[in-house]
Structure 1
Amino acid sequence: MEITVEEDKCVGAGQCVLVAPEVFDQRDDDGIVILLDARPPAAQHDATRQAAQVCPAAAILVRG
């Protein structure tokens, strides 16, 4: 699995952080997503896919 984020699409809703805090965080100043792990371990795959699905801006791309 490989994750990319499109920061320009992110609206700072924080849903990704709530679902997969080991993979995503948010910048303090504007809430924009921070990708902590572009290749998360298998144990994080389900949560990472769910985070991409709940992102209101579709800013998270999951491959693999």
Structure 2
Amino acid sequence: MKIVVDRDACMGYANCVIEAPELFDIDEATDKAVALIEEPDESFREAAERAARVCPAVALRIEG
């Protein structure tokens, strides 16, 4: 599984951080989301998918 953050689309709402703080954070320099683990193991799939679903900017994609 791979987490892809579309930094152009990200508006910095931080919903992903609220849903999955172990996977996402906000870059203080850009106020955009960053994936803390770009290729997490399957144990993180549910949290990653939940974070992608709650992103109002549709800036997160889970591949694989």
Q: With structure 2 as the length reference, what TM-score do the two structures score?
A: 0.89
Matches within 5 A, 1:11-50: 11-50=11-50
Moved more, 29-38 or 17-26: 29-38
In structure 1, the partner of 2:59 is 59
Query: Contact (CA 8 Å) 1:14, 1:31: kept in 2 or not?
Result: no
In structure 2, the partner of 1:3 is 3
CA shift for structure 1 position 30? 4.2
Secondary structure at 1:16 match in 2: helix
Q: Which runs of 5+ in 1 are unaligned?
A: none
CA RMSD, 1 decimal: 1.1
Count of residue pairs brought into register by the alignment:
64
CA shift for structure 1 position 14? 0.3
Q: Distance in 2 between matches of 1:54 and 1:22?
A: 16
Secondary structure at 1:40 match in 2: coil
AA aligned to 2:2 is E
Q: Distance in 1 between matches of 2:63 and 2:28?
A: 27
